Structure 1
Amino acid sequence: MQFNHDNMHGVRLAESLVNMLADGPWDTGTLQGLLASHLFRSPRVTPAIHDELREWAVRLRAVFAAEDQEARCAAVNNLLAAGVRRVFLTTHDDMLPHLHFADASETLVERVRAVTAGGLAIFMTEAAGERLGVCAWRDCSRVFADTSRGGNRTYCSVRCGNADAVRRYRGRARSG
């Protein structure tokens, strides 16, 4: 399956926000840097914004952790209802026409909610409701959006996959 990587901005931001929860402390500096790296211009994160986005990240996690396609669709629909006020087609910066789920006049929290909810919805349609998950390594709670050709990813990273393979190998060696 081929993904349009121009549409991946929102799903990658959702993935990053959820993984901030998994990685430990949710601090303002890291959040501000993350938003800047996802092209939010001069994001000023106040304590209120910090708390609202942390709460939103918890809601985003439900999409990645959903048990099946129906639950995942329901979780995305909940995000769309809470995060998207309008959708519009636009061109700017020499880009082809594309969808926007928020405009520049909205608050930082509103824009993050809209971009992540809309991005997850687009990804879900391109991935037939699949390809989102939580790392299978028991010591990891990071999430991922699988854009691999085969679509059978179960770990957030090669490191976690290798760690789990070593654990399984050692378990077999001990019992053998």
Structure 2
Amino acid sequence: MEALQTPDRGLHLAVALVNTRTHDPEQLVSPAALRRFLLHHGELEPVDVDAADLAAMIAVRERIRPAFHVPPDAAAALVNDLLAAFAVRPYLSDHDGTAWHLHATRPDASWAEWAAATAALGIATFAAAHGFAALALCAAEDCERVFVNPAPRRVRLFCTPTCASRTRVASFRARRKGESQEGEQM
């Protein structure tokens, strides 16, 4: 398992992992899909995973998900529980000829343990700097994606411009439909 290569890597991993299950089809459907996910998020070969790794990663994902929409005290407790269960005192490593980098899990940690510790540390670091209000669930009714919003005024409500536009168009059409129905009744 690779290290925390940048301070926000853990946060990006948490968001991406949670967003593998939304109203869209499940993305982590096989060990091969989990392997692709890990490689896409910076892990280096060898990435060997099996069905047990997949099940454990999905369980970790579901443990992390509430951090994006529960009250701050509950989110902090959730993150602290993950850190207590999976993280160790960080240490530097240059294993396998890599450059020095930080590890926050045991050397023999599973992929799910690594993801839980890395994501929890990323969320904790981000929340300490920006508050838990900066972790958000998309406001679109038909979206379950989560995102982070470090902007001080927190004006962002949607995960993407696509969700924002789709919501605005639906609202506009509903208003227009309501106006036309009122006009017909007169």
- Category of TM-score, reference length = shorter chain: 0.7 to 0.9
- Find the residue that maps to 1:21 and give its secondary structure: coil
% identical equivalent positions: 28
Which residue does 1:130 correspond to in 2? 133
Match of 2:67 among 22, 45, 63: 63
Cα separation, 2, equivalents of 1:168 and 1:90: 53
1:50 to 47, 50, 54: 54
Which consecutive unaligned segments of at least 5 residues does structure 1 have? none
Q: Is the 8 A contact 2:90 2:104 kept in 1?
A: yes
Q: How far is the alpha carbon of 1:94 from its aligned partner? A: 7.6
> In the alignment, residue 12 of structure 1 is paired with which amino acid?
H
Per the alignment, residue 25 of structure 2 pairs with 24
* Equivalent residue number for residue 12 of structure 2: 12
Question: Residue 57 of structure 1: CA displacement?
Answer: 0.2
CA–CA distance in structure 1, aligned partners of residues 155 and 91 of structure 2: 33
How has the CA–CA distance of structure 1 residues 83 and 152 changed in structure 2, closer, same or farther, with 3 Å as cutoff? farther
Match of 1:34 among 33, 37, 44: 37
Give the Cα–Cα distance (whole angstroms) in 2 for the partners of residues 90 and 153 of structure 1. 38
Deviation at 1:82, TM superposition (A): 1.9
TM-score (norm 2): 0.80
Deviates more, 1:50-59 or 1:99-108: 99-108
Runs (5+) with no aligned partner, structure 2: 180-186
Structure 2 Cα separation of the partners of residues 114 and 31 of structure 1: 17
TM-score (norm 1): 0.84
Determine the C-alpha separation between the residues in 2 that align with 1:123 and 1:156.
17
Distance 1:16 1:44 in 2: 20
SS in 1 for 2:89: coil
Q: Secondary structure at the match of 1:130?
A: helix
Contact 2:53 2:110 (C-alpha < 8 Å) held by counterparts: no
Q: Residues 136-176 of structure 1: CA distance to partner in whole angstroms, max 9, x if unpaired? A: 11111111112346432211111001000001111111122
Q: CA RMSD in A?
A: 2.3
Structure-2 separation of matches of 1:102 and 1:167? 46
Q: Structure 1 counterpart of 2:10, which letter? A: G
Alignment length (residue pairs): 168
Q: Which residue of the partner structure matches residue 82 of structure 2?
A: 79
Structure-1 residue corresponding to 2:157? 154
